[in-house]
Structure 1
Amino acid sequence: MEPGEPTRRPGGARLRATLRVLAELGPSTAGWMVLGSLRQALRARAEADRLAVPPPDSGQGPGALEELTEEADAVVARFARATLTLAFLAPDCLLLEWRRRAAPEDPPPSLLAGDRARERVTPTRHPSAEGVLELDAGGPLRVRLGADGTLVVLDGAGEVVRVDEPPCWREAGWSARWACPPGALVTGLGLQAGPLDRRGRRYRLWNLDPGGSWGPDAGPLYCNVPVLLAVDGARSLLDVLDTSEALEVDLRSPGSGWVGAPAGPLRRVLALGRPPLLLERLAELTGPPALPPRWALGYQHSRWGFRSAATVAGIRAGFAACGLPISAIHLDIDHLAGYRVLTADPKRFGDLPGLVRGLAALGTRVVTIVDPGVKVDRGFGLFRRGVAGDRFCRTPRGRLAIGVVWPGRAAFPDFADPAVRDWWAEEVAARLRTSGVGGLWHDMNEPTCLRVGAEPRLPLATRHRIDGQVYDHAALRNRYANDMNEAGFRGSRLARPEARPFVLSRSGWLGGQRHAWHWTGDAETSWAGLRQQVAAVLGLGLSGFPFTGSDVGGFTADPDPELYLRWLQFAVFVPLLRTHAMIGLRPREPWRWPEPFRRAVASWIRFRYRLLPLLLGLAHEAAEQGAPPVRPLWWPDGEAAAELGDDAFLLGDDLLVAPVCTPGARRRALRLPAGRWVGAWAGSSPTALAGRTVVQLGAPLERLPLAVRAGRILVLDDAWADPQGACQLEGDEALGAEDRAWTRGTLDPAHVPGCWALHCWPAEDPEGRAAGAEGQALDEAGDGHGPVRLDHYRLAGVAEDGTATLAWERTGTFPPPASVRVVVHGWAVERALADGRPAAVEGGTVRCGPFDELVLVGLRRRAAAPSPAYHLD
């Protein structure tokens, strides 16, 4: 396909994808799929009642207040028809639960699994002139309870943040309405098609495969998360709904919202504060994200259609021949023996362990797909063992619950049962030990059954068990993927306790970040599809899922070279960087593209590896504090959130990324966030631009606009610098071929940085002198559970005699790198002294060993004229 050729229409791509799937299934499985679809259609009317959500303001409210008591650090309000429990989990965090009194419920266990969910802070009761009582716990959040059950959330100054009306019940279902200041941006809800600001739409939180591909306005999708974040500076409010029932969330009315569920109690947690604190609270409530191995942050390559081990080995050889790193190759369902999970085809992948060992020697892991559907086949050992141990979901009559997936008729492990998770973990561990596979890719785990014209799922009456209690599929469907991911994660740890597991999942729910990364599924191949992925990744991060990404180029059609390159440029800056596509499409290996795209694609893959030190530090921050690596432009203060768009983002706090999502565009407009920003690329204008202004950004085909917060130091791995490529930074011309890891065609298995480089972008004082910079970085072995080193860097301003001092403070026991490179953007260094000893200077950059203090001598402005193609106007 030639540059500029239009990408095929999404609708046509969807039809072609469906035809390819039917061809892959074969007539027998396609027949079972049609039969299952007819049965599902016949059940649809009866099942609709189970998923019905009461309309707003219908049914009965809690009635009159009868009694107020204090019980175990909580306040219990008993109304005529319902009971409300209020408990502070922290001074800024309130747990509330409404239960009906007439029909006691036995809901599934809480999804709140973190330490914070088990804590209690004794509240203080205050008299209230406007309600029956007010409660706080000495922090910024106070709640006022009315005699009718109305709850008013107040901030520390006594200003109203939100008003929750009393809920209503109709049969088993409930609905609840709230009102809040209309100016706050509202986000969260996991993976949604549409803008990051969720206002103005209604959402169904019910994990489903949308079928074929999805783009703007599709839904519901694979990974809904019952989390709302109303962003309004220090008065931002987190709302966590603790249920796995299907939810309806209506945000169409300005300044108000409504939520309803078909069953279960109304359990929610409210927290008040700025967004970083609220994301930390969310991680404390639901469990911290699992820390990934460093290799998972590299480039990963996949395609439905790698038919043999020889094909996979040839792809890895192609990357090596091009001097390109590749951290993982994914094997889709075509590597399996008759689509049986946890197997490999004996003819085409007969020596899977040998393939894994060969790629591992080059630094490349193998990740294999695992679907939950287990082929119904008495000759299949996994199925036999599952039946013998009663590990599968069953119908109300006690028969196996059967769905149709890739292998044909399949049974589904009942992952809700802890004993089944134990069994599956052992099965996974045994497979990983024998194959050596480095990671798991969980697909179809909503779970999905192949259907035509009906919801692609198991019947709602399907039974699940938790500690002897039986629940239907409607109650537990949304948490199915979480439980499968936990089992896979534990199996990985059983197989390799010294390593950090890598599990990639399509589906998830509240708390799913504890055990898996997530990708956005079968994204539409279109420019609108690319634009949607920016908001999708941001929305997942603000729902507590920090490690996400999309299939580069989209899943179901052939992107033209420009669309693929622009998608890759965006994806290089998000946690998961994976190229993937369905069977029957053109290959997407870097060398398949015509020039100049081929060179640009290669340069961007190498640039990803420059970012690994930064990405690893952000991964630790996510695991410890819940902060997503990919952050909206209003991060961290949450001020003026509704004014800043969702077509650009921050990587960490200091790197501003502006993807290009329009064909043929070579410039783009952007409202800069607060602070001062300077272009990152070599040739960028040295003049910093003030935030809260609209600027035009140069966006040549080979580059997206990239800016750094002035006054910051970022650590990169300059072993992956490409001085003649698209992604040039200042000082790259001083690097020789011997410095570049990619010239050797191999990748260190642990992805150890080859050239630890401090890139300093000094702020300037009013006279134009460099006023200094600071930053921090983290390093460790890249896998396992060993020591960590945290670095703090501080560059003093340039003195009148042209000297400046860079201080390096290290904490932790992980050793520093043997060699360090220092680049001061906009300035050239003449001489340098590292702890009093002369350091090498070449091309105005410094090369030395680790130091406590580096004195830079003879600093002078670089004379190179800025290139108008790359600067910020």
Structure 2
Amino acid sequence: MKFTDGYWLMRPGVVARYAAEVADIRADEHRMTLYAPVKHVRGRGDTLNSPLLTVECWSPAEGVIGVRTTHHAGTPDPGPHFALPGAEPGAGKVRRDGAVTELSAGELTLRVDASQPWNLEFTAEGRTLTTVGERGTGFVTDAAGSHHMLGQLSLGVGELVYGLGERFTPFVRNGQTVDIWQADGGTSSEQAYKNIPFHLTNQGYGVFVNHPGKVSYEIGSESVGQVQFSVEDQTLEYFVVHGPTPKQILERYTALTGRPALPPAWALGLWLTTSFTTDYDEATVNRFVGGMAERGIPLSVFHLDCFWMREYQWSDFAWDPETFPDPAGMLARLKEQGLRISAWINPYVAQKSALFAEGMREGYLVRRADGGVWQWDLWQPGMALVDFTNPAARDWYTGKLRALLAQGVDCFKTDFGERIPTDVVWHDGSDPQRMHNYYTQLYNEAVFELLREERGEGEALLFARSATAGGQQYPVHWGGDCESHFNAMAESLRGGLSLGLSGFGFWSHDIGGFEGTPSPAVFKRWVQFGLLSSHSRLHGSKSYRVPWDYGDEAVDVTREFTLLKHRLAPYLQRAAQQAHTTGIPVMRAMVLEFPDDPAAATLDRQYLLGGDLLVAPILSDDGTVEYYVPEGTWTNLLTGEQVTGPRWTKEQHGFHTLPLLVRPDSVIPLAADDQHPVSAWADGVELRVHAFADGAERTVVIPRSDGPGESARFHLRRSGDRLHVTTDSLRPWHLRTGGPDGTLHTCPAGTPQADFPYPV
């Protein structure tokens, strides 16, 4: 929200009060509290008839410092609040030297000089990261009488801002106004399904605004040298998170707010859906599944979208008897073919649903101030909303899902969760403004924890659309309703990369686009992109996404890239384990891997899949793609062709290739089994060695396919013209040097070490 009219004036009706200086400091060993008048105090008279801000500073974890500014402390705070599972009391250390007080947390220090005008200086490793200056701490009242707390952190020359959730606007946030407010706005506007009040910059730090309600950002868009964030409240709390690298920032942020769970490895395979409003029944499902098998396209998950239930009755979790007369039998038959089953749900209950009367009678639905059930006719006629702040309502809702799991459903697509009213009363008394964004956390948490309880640790999996801070703990998330053209493909990728820089480890999207019907060219290019994402789902709205609807070549492309993803499964599962333990996403913006390369700072049409594969999706009808290659010699995994960076390159590809480049000095493990995403990955694994320099060393871990841990480890070291490999694997393994046509060496089971000529 903008409060000023240019640099000198305020907007009509706006009155701002900013911390001017430090009047007093109270500190103990671990925290300090600053008392800041909003004008300079020259004498006792200046202490009268004027606000005094309370600014508390502490550290919840190493490398993180919190700042909480309060105007009037007597305002009720009914919640909700973001959980901070990684917070540790007493993490910081306070040091005082005359007028200077410092709070340190690891390398990060907050410095305050009480003899000077108001200024909070955040430093690390001998340099200033950011400052909170003369307009950086305060409150504003507007013409309507609303009270806003605000913070401003300085931006340095060349400093770029990223994150704030899954946003489809330009990747670098500088110059943008961003409201953290959940909305079902598709992928072509400034609205977002996943709004996260966390940003990071290329100057070694991130900032998490710890407020679940609406947070309004002005990112160099009101004061061009500042990131401003404001909330309509009496208190504003934020955390500065030191890196210095972007990866370290994400590690610390996700340690504080929660790390992603590890999805089951079977989810890495290809998902196929019925699509949304298309006509389908059990025969359609069988035709799709059989058609994929006949064409040699392995399928891992089949998803049944909304109309598995009867129209007008969502969500009652009852199968439509006309289209699915034997649901338990159908699910059993699908599972006999090796498929997992996903079912669409949402947290809304239509008036025609039998659950409406039950939920209204028991008090499980969100109510208006007059005691009646809140309803509207958007989406579903007479739709009401499950009140997840009521433990009994949560149990009631998940109890309905438990019956579906007993029938054979494996996971749920938790759709919606964004259109949450603010003129309602919640069971636990939560503030309706705060609950608008936070509702999705309660919704996804309830379903995820049910799956974890029923299916076991490591088997719980969602396909979720909405999220807020902390939502990364309940993967997987997908990008929502996009159009079916190249521009929509590009905007989806921007959103996914932005979400990855907001603490989310796993992300997917609708292959082919959701709205409309893609051209054969768009479909084939989106298949390449989708199967080189962390999770891969074919899904549409009014048209099917079975490959044969888009031509014979689309079938071939879908088959080839599905088999490729299966071979990449041990590599992808290792990246998934890293996301689970560190918070580093599987799909990584280039700036995350190459923070010291200025050319990588703005790239949003390419990414790293894991740490060693560069993917540049093709976004043109003629197959032309222009992308940036960082320093070193990179090898195309599909063709073996090499390109040496740093440089921009322009290429043209048919539908069977794209830029899929392997990082220099890297080793990609490829599974022997290309028919399944889950196999004995260490058995017959192929180690593909690329551009290994003399003296280079690399350790490759083959993860377990049934959960956390590893099943084999290989260490490779090049010395001169020899490549030496040691391993603890007791299975046969292979090594290939160069591209796909390079020399293949085979080692029998029980070969603990071997030497190979290199280069060949």
User: TM-score normalized by structure 1?
Assistant: 0.78
Give the structure 2 partner of residue 717 of structure 1: 671
Q: For 1:243, which of 193, 211, 234 is the aligned residue?
A: 211
Matches within 5 A, 1:299-310: 299-302=270-273, 303-304=275-276, 305=278, 307-310=280-283
Counterpart-to-counterpart distance in 2, 1:671 and 1:498: 40
| Residue equivalent to 1:49 | none
Closer/same/farther in 2, CA of residues 646 and 266 from structure 1, 3 Å limit? same
> Is contact 1:719–1:754 with CA below 8 Å preserved after alignment?
no
Distance verdict in 2 for CA 1:797–1:824, change over 3 Å: same
Correspondences of 1:560-639 after superposition (within 5 Å): 560-583=519-542, 585=543, 587-636=544-593, 638-639=595-596
- Structure 1 residues 335 and 102, CA, compared in 2 at 3 Å: closer, same or farther? closer
1:317-356 correspondence runs (5 A): 317-338=290-311, 339-341=313-315, 342-356=317-331
Match of residue 45 from structure 2: none
CA shift for structure 1 position 96: 1.3
Structure 1 residue 753 displacement after superposition: 3.9
1:93 equivalent in structure 2 = 64
Closer/same/farther in 2, CA of residues 268 and 310 from structure 1, 3 Å limit? same
Match of 2:616 among 654, 658, 661: 658
* Secondary structure, aligned partner of 1:167: strand
Give the whole-Å Cα distance in 2 for the aligned partners of 1:718 and 1:591. 27
- Cα distance in 1 for partners of 2:604, 2:380 equals 41
Structure 2 counterpart of 1:295: 266
Aligned to 1:707: 661
Q: Check conservation: 1:306, 1:332, Cα contact below 8 A.
A: no
Give 1:756 deviation, angstroms.
4.4
* CA apart distance, 1:113: 2.6
Could you tell me how far apart the structure 2 residues matched to 1:475 and 1:498 are? Answer: 31
Alignment partner of 2:673: what SS? Answer: helix
Aligned ranges 1:202-281 → 2 under 5 Å: 202-210=177-185, 213-215=186-188, 218-232=189-203, 236-251=204-219, 252=221, 254-263=224-233, 265-273=235-243, 274-281=245-252
Taking structure 1 as reference, are residues 264 and 827 closer, same or farther at Cα in structure 2, changes over 3 Å only?
same
Q: Residues of 1 paired with 2:746 and 2:154: CA distance?
A: 58
What is the distance in 1 between the residues matched to 2:341 and 2:129?
53
Local SS of the residue matching 2:434: helix
Distance 1:752 1:55, change over 3 A: farther
Displacement of 1:826 in angstroms is 5.5
Unmatched tracts of structure 1, length 5 or more: 1-52, 449-456, 721-740, 742-746, 811-815, 830-842, 862-873
Distance 1:55 1:485, change over 3 A: farther
Unaligned ranges ≥5, structure 2: 1-9, 37-50
Which runs of structure 2 are paired with 1:441-520 in the superposition (5 Å)? Answer: 441-446=413-418, 448=419, 457-458=420-421, 460-466=422-428, 470-497=429-456, 500-520=459-479
Distance in 1 (alpha carbons) for counterparts of 2:755 and 2:347: 59
Q: Match for residue 452 of structure 1?
A: none
| Alignment match of 2:132 (pick from 142, 163, 181) | 163
**Using the alignment, how far apart are the partners of 1:364 and 1:295 within structure 2?**
9
Letter in 1 for 2:634: W
| 1:266 CA displacement | 0.7
- Partner SS for 1:490: helix
Give the Cα separation in 1 of the matches to 2:532 and 2:472. Answer: 19
Task: Give the aligned residue type for 2:300.
Answer: S
Quote how far apart the aligned CAs of 1:493 are: 2.4
Which amino acid in 2 is paired with 1:757?
V
Offset, 1:285:
1.2
**1:462, 1:472 within 8 Å by CA — same for their partners in 2?**
no
Retained in 2: the 8 A contact 1:544–1:628?
A: yes
Task: Pick the aligned partner of 2:95 from 117, 125, 138.
Answer: 125
Instruction: Evaluate the alpha carbon distance shift between residue 707 and residue 237 of structure 1 in structure 2; reply closer, same or farther with a 3 A threshold.
Output: same
Q: Aligned equivalents of 1:340 and 1:612: distance in 2?
A: 36
The residue type paired with residue 821 of structure 1 is H
C-alpha deviation, 1:81, in angstroms: 2.9
Q: Is the CA contact 2:695–2:717 (under 8 Å) kept in the aligned structure 1?
A: yes
What does residue 822 of structure 1 align with? 735
Q: Deviation at 1:560? A: 0.7
Alpha-carbon distance in 2 for matches of 1:148, 1:397: 50
Do residues 853 (structure 1) and 756 (structure 2) align?
A: no
- Which position in structure 2 is the counterpart of 1:60? 17
Alignment-derived partner of residue 425 in structure 1 = 398
Query: 1:689 maps to what in 2?
Result: 644
Q: Is residue 375 of structure 1 aligned with residue 329 of structure 2?
A: no
- Residues 148 and 360 of structure 1, relative CA distance in 2, 3 Å threshold: farther
Please give the per-residue CA displacement for 1:303-335, whole angstroms capped at 9, x wherever unaligned. Answer: 112521221122111111112111111111111
Distance in 1 separating the partners of 2:234 and 2:409 = 41
- Matched with 2:39 is none
How far did residue 656 of structure 1 move? 0.8
**Distance in 2 (alpha carbons) for counterparts of 1:552 and 1:503:** 18
Match of 1:41 in 2: none
Distance change >3 Å, CA 773–CA 414, structure 1 → 2 = same
SS state at 1:669 partner: strand
How many equivalent residue pairs? 722
SS of 1:404's partner is coil
Q: 1:86 to 1:860 in 2, by over 3 A?
A: closer
The alpha-carbon distance between structure 1 residues 160 and 579, as it changes in their structure 2 partners (threshold 3 A), is closer
Once the two structures are TM-superposed, the CA of residue 790 in structure 1 deviates from its matched residue by 5.7
CA distance in 2, matches of 1:664, 1:475: 48
Stretch of structure 1 that moved more, 437-446 or 412-421: 412-421
In the aligned structure 1, how far is the partner of 2:117 from the partner of 2:31?
A: 19
Q: How does 1:633-782 map to 2 (within 5 A)?
A: 633-636=590-593, 638-641=595-598, 643-644=600-601, 645-666=603-624, 668-685=625-642, 689-690=644-645, 692-720=646-674, 741=675, 747=676, 751-753=679-681, 756-765=684-693, 774-782=698-706
Aligned mate of 2:518, from 549, 559, 584: 559
Superposition deviation, residue 365 in structure 1: 1.1
Whether the 8 Å contact between 1:425 and 1:490 is mirrored in structure 2 is no
Distance 1:763 1:214, change over 3 A: closer
Q: Deviations over 1:629-670 (max 9, x none)?
A: 11122333522456542211111221111111122133x332
What is the percent sequence identity of the aligned residues? 24
Structure 1 residues 331 and 70, CA gap change in structure 2 (3 angstroms): same
